[in-house]
Structure 1
Amino acid sequence: MDTSKHTLTTLFKQLGLPCDEASIQDFISRHSPLPRDIALQDAPFWSDSQSHFLEEGLEEDSDWAEIIDELDARMRA
Structure 2
Amino acid sequence: MKYNEAVKHKKESLAKAHDSVVSNYHIIIVPADTDESAKYIEDFLKSPDTFKDESCKKYCSNDEYEVVSFKKEDE
TM above 0.5, yes or no, is no
TM-score where L is the length of structure 2: 0.34
Q: TM-score, normalised by structure 1?
A: 0.34
Q: Which has the higher contact order (CA 8 A, sep 6+)?
A: 2
User: Which structure has greater strand proportion?
Assistant: 2
